[in-house]
């Protein structure tokens, strides 16, 4: 049995480290609706961790708890072993957490390059006043930010559209630009909100490859939620399955695939 600080090497040679985030007995309510009921699980450094479940299972609510956007009424979130207080979005970003959204949240009128640059906002320390006083420092900062952005653009193979306004791009590429913006923040923990939703088969294959490459190349820990069980099974190290706000499975893709409660939930068998 692994303890919180131990690590292991996967079959494909990646090292999975200790626990970076721990959800302990999380319950989240919206008025009378209980979106999450007493759920516990953890996320380990360097792993790809999926949360799956049918419609209304509570996945988005859980992603919002992980990102710090929702504060649960019960339970606690431990980040690197410490209880995490309620945080504003910029504080979350400073902790090395970045995310994408299910309904793409890009600046449609701006170019791909400018959108990806917004991922660096937290690194732009030089304000307007000091920019005027310290031109050299501001220029250095701009060059550093540009270098990171250009690396991400190369990595995600979107050089050919760098000047294109996002509004003109097909859906699959918009999703990739959103991933690029999240990566530009150089996150330690990347949260992906239904990264394959609305994609065709080819776009899903591309996105899967990029998710694996990001994890492999940068060692980024990735937590993602997905509706479609199939697409995450080949990607993930471990999978949490939710249904009606409860956790009904947690384990490797094989363990989860063979779990009767999970099979029933996906076949729509009622179990109250």
Residue 61 interacts with ligand ATP (CB under 6 A): yes or no: yes
Please list, in sequence order, all residues whose beta carbon lies within 8 angstroms of the beta carbon of residue 246, skipping any fewer than 6 positions away: 37, 38, 39
# residues near ligand ATP by CB under 6 A:
12
Judged by CB, which is closer to ligand ATP: 56, or 165? 56
**Binding span for ligand ATP by CB under 6 A among 30-38, 105-113, 137-145, 167-175:** 30-38
Q: Please count the CA atoms within 13 angstroms of the CA of 139 that sit on its side-chain side.
A: 5
Work out which of 19, 20, 21, 35 binds ligand ATP, going by CB under 6 A.
35
Closest CB 60 distance from ligand ATP, rounded Å: 3
Judged by CB, which is closer to ligand ATP: 55, or 143? 55
CB 267 within 8 A of CB 244: no
Work out which of 59, 84, 175, 204 binds ligand ATP, going by CB under 6 A.
59
Residue 187 interacts with ligand ATP (CB under 6 A): yes or no: no
CB 271 within 8 A of CB 264: yes
What does the alpha-carbon distance between residue 160 and residue 6 come to, in Å, rounded to a whole number?
Answer: 43
Q: Is the dihedral of CA 147, 152, 157, 161 positive or negative?
A: negative
Residue 227 interacts with ligand ATP (CB under 6 A): yes or no: yes
Binding site for ligand ATP (CB under 6 A): 30, 33, 35, 53, 55-61, 227
């Amino acid at each position: 049995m692994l303890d919180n600080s131990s690590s292991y090497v996967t079959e494909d040679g990646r090292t999975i480290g200790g626990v970076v985030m721990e959800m302990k007995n999380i319950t989240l309510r919206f008025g009378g609706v209980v979106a999450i009921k007493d759920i516990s699980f953890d996320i380990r450094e360097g792993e790809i961790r999926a949360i799956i479940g049918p419609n209304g299972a509570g996945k988005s609510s859980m992603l919002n708890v992980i990102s710090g956007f929702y504060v649960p009424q019960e339970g606690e979130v431990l980040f690197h072993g410490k209880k995490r207080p309620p945080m504003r979005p910029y504080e979350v970003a400073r902790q090395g957490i970045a995310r994408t959204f299910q309904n793409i949240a890009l600046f449609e009128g701006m170019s791909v390059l400018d959108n990806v640059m917004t991922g660096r906002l937290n690194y732009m320390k030089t304000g307007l006043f000091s920019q005027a006083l310290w031109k050299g420092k501001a220029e250095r900062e701009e060059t550093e930010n540009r270098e990171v952005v250009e690396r991400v653009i190369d990595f995600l193979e979107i050089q050919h559209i760098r000047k294109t306004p996002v509004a003109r791009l097909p859906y699959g590429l918009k999703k990739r630009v959103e991933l690029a913006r999240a990566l530009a923040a150089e996150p330690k923990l990347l949260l992906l909100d239904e990264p394959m939703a609305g994609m065709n088969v080819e776009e899903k294959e591309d996105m899967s490859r990029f998710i694996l490459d990001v994890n492999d190349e940068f060692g980024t820990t990735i937590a993602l939620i997905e509706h479609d069980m199939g697409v995450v099974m080949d990607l993930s190290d471990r999978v949490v399955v939710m249904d009606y706000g409860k956790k009904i499975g947690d384990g490797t893709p094989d363990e989860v695939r063979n779990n009767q409660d999970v099979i029933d939930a996906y076949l729509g068998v009622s179990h109250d």
